[in-house]
Structure 1
């Protein structure tokens, strides 16, 4: 099936798709527009809230209530009332912003940073935040991106985009400590890995910046299984819905063949 364009509003950089399986809602952000969106696939209603600084990723709290990481801190956003309030902030330098994030099974927020407004080498980190305190999990990153847990929760997979690799870390659920193990996937073509998610078979789906696709990989042996093309070069992230199909965010590029870069796409992988 060809990718279906779901939403387009001329955004520069859509990112951070997160699907609420319980309530059948999709959340995503337009980083440079400071916007977070809530999309209902059944009604096709799209709501948005402006958070006044770059918004990077979403953590689900309740029905239409989420936590959003912005440069100015973490905000609780309520799409029932179209309101937001700041909850906390991690002590990050002025020259970075948050990027990709994930929640571990114990409720810890794991989130990376990157240089902003300019990307700078090794100024990023990956933090773990829980109940008012935080610590550094991974240091000296450049563009902290995709994060995913193995199905048995023993490993954390992580992408620092300029490395063009997927790293695997031993992850201790009890202590929340990550220890580098090895690199499991290396991208040798033009595309660089960006956001990612894991399917119910333990395989990784990775958005490829400047690669025009989401690619499917086996993290055990590092082999590429398949890829799904999109009509724009810069693919930023992806997540699964309740049917096992993919929502995919993209960004604009300077390519003349870029069709709807900065749009939200839907890729059917199953027959529902």
Structure 2
């Protein structure tokens, strides 16, 4: 798809931050701070953007950062899913503290995307750096900082979302081009009964990051598809799509005071100089008001101190 095909879309996202990231991903909305947190996986960093002022602060970690979530109590603390597992970062002191690395025996793997459920458990999955083999898995960092494997046989672990009452969890494996649904036990934080509900094989691009709106519809970023699309998980049908002026849309999250703004991350990795002429803001963060409200972003709740 080229930018000339933008006319096929009824709506288009607007540029919010020309971040020129290599691989922006994992947007996380902090309602208390009115900030959008996000990672640049290959830029080895995460940032937080004040959406009112446009001020963005970036923190370099010196390693790939696949996901960032905020601490439920401390505004200066975040939890990262990095190449070295789950880690805690204090923005005041720039102190990075290791928690657990469930794949220390797989140096070719890294964490890629993650999100918290309403209980504050941190779900994040892994993938092989070279994306050649199915070597990843989906993990849970529980509130007591213990870690467990929830699902195996993952190619490229990506978007996660829950329905309103958290009886269902949705999950994307980009390598397999599918969105799966699991029965979700919110009390225990367990998943069961995986089934494919959306098949992306006929779509432009691959399914990447994902969020869910207040009506229970899924919003999925198309890696290589110039769009974010809305889907009904009950029927597996595509409902609409918004044009993104960058081919590699990576993820999205609802934010803003009314949770009515869809923030969209994109990537510039692998784009040639000629292609960059057509998409000069690739790697930027975009925004779109779809006319439907979103769902809250949850922070990590730790019941155990690392000190």
Provide TM-score, normalisation by structure 2. Answer: 0.83
Aligned to 1:186: 199
Q: Deviations over 1:106-140 (max 9, x none)?
A: 22211100002x11321000011211322211101
The answer as to 2:59 corresponding to 1:20 is: no
Residue correspondences, number: 270
User: In structure 1, what is the Cα distance between the partners aligned to 2:284 and 2:25?
Assistant: 10
Unaligned residue ranges in structure 1 (runs of 5+) = none
User: In structure 2, what is the Cα distance between the partners aligned to 1:190 and 1:42?
Assistant: 33
Alpha-carbon contact 1:49-1:82 (below 8 Å) kept: no
Alpha-carbon contact 2:38-2:46 (below 8 Å) kept: yes
Alpha-carbon contact 1:250-1:264 (below 8 Å) kept: yes
Aligned to 2:78: 66
Q: Deviations over 1:232-267 (max 9, x none)?
A: 111000001133111100012347233321111111
Aligned to 1:141: 154
More strand by share: 1
Question: Residues 80-159 of structure 1: matches in 2 within 5 Å?
Answer: 81=92, 83-92=94-103, 93-116=106-129, 118-130=130-142, 131-159=144-172
User: In structure 2, what is the Cα distance between the partners aligned to 1:76 and 1:133?
Assistant: 14
User: In structure 2, what is the Cα distance between the partners aligned to 1:42 and 1:82?
Assistant: 26
User: In structure 1, what is the Cα distance between the partners aligned to 2:15 and 2:153?
Assistant: 36
User: In structure 1, what is the Cα distance between the partners aligned to 2:131 and 2:168?
Assistant: 28
Alpha-carbon contact 1:167-1:180 (below 8 Å) kept: no
Provide TM-score, normalisation by structure 1. Answer: 0.93
Aligned to 1:205: 219
Deviation at 1:90, TM superposition (A): 2.2
Q: Deviations over 1:151-190 (max 9, x none)?
A: 1101110000122211001111222221133211112122
Higher relative contact order (CA 8 A, sep 6+): 2
Deviation at 1:82, TM superposition (A): 5.8
Unaligned residue ranges in structure 2 (runs of 5+) = 1-10, 294-307
Aligned to 1:160: 173
Aligned to 1:246: 262
User: In structure 2, what is the Cα distance between the partners aligned to 1:251 and 1:48?
Assistant: 16
| Over 6 Å off, 4+ runs | none
